[in-house]
Copies of this chain bind each other. A is one copy, B any other.
């Protein structure tokens, strides 16, 4: 499977992973949520190579996750700001942080705490069901095909190579 195909898989996870599923992209997004906006800011916070950083930022802009906004003329300079689509990644970020808080901390405890201003307390993110409001466990969930599931196979595909004859052993 190539990465181009991945983006077209009928799977929301695959498609999302195709966009944000690499280490540097996730770290760049972490910085975005910590209010970093500028090239040098990302570079020095992460130690990423400038080449990669430029590439990843471009990709995030192409995907509509960041917006490239000018903040000064002459020399033209831009900031990278999260769009709404980007802000919507927050639950993913928080879920990742929370797993780390639960399973990857050392004896000293959490590196960061999160204060929910609405209620004034440090909190953990909890994933609940949109319908009943209860926390969701993996075992309580049944997954089934939706309208965008892989379409029924077309005739052409039906004729497509049945699983290749595996001439794996001592061939030729």
A144, chain B: closest CB distance, angstroms: 6
Give the oligomeric copy count: 2
* A116-B96 CB under 8 A given contacts A11-B111, A126-B128, A130-B123: no
A38 to B113, CA, bound (A): 38
List of B residues within 8 angstroms of A97 by Cβ: 12-13, 16
Interface size on A, residues (CB 8 A): 95
- B1, A127: Cβ atoms closer than 8 Å: no
* A138-B90 CB under 8 A given contacts A12-B105, A144-B112: yes
Main secondary structure of the interface of A (DSSP, over half): mixed
Determine whether A26 belongs to the interface, using a CB cutoff of 8 Å to chain B.
Answer: yes
Determine whether A55 belongs to the interface, using a CB cutoff of 8 Å to chain B.
Answer: no
**7 additional A-B residue pairs with CB within 8 Å, beyond A18-B23, A94-B136:** A3-B23, A16-B99, A34-B143, A91-B98, A116-B136, A119-B129, A123-B130
Tell me the A77-111 residues at the B interface (CB within 8 Å).
Answer: 85, 87-106, 108-111
The interface centre, meaning the residue of A34, A73, A98, A116 with most chain B CB atoms within 10 A of its CB, is A116
Determine whether A54 belongs to the interface, using a CB cutoff of 8 Å to chain B.
Answer: no
List of B residues within 8 angstroms of A149 by Cβ: 111-112
A11, chain B: closest CB distance, angstroms: 5
List of B residues within 8 angstroms of A136 by Cβ: 90-91, 94, 116, 123, 125
- A46, B112: Cβ atoms closer than 8 Å: no
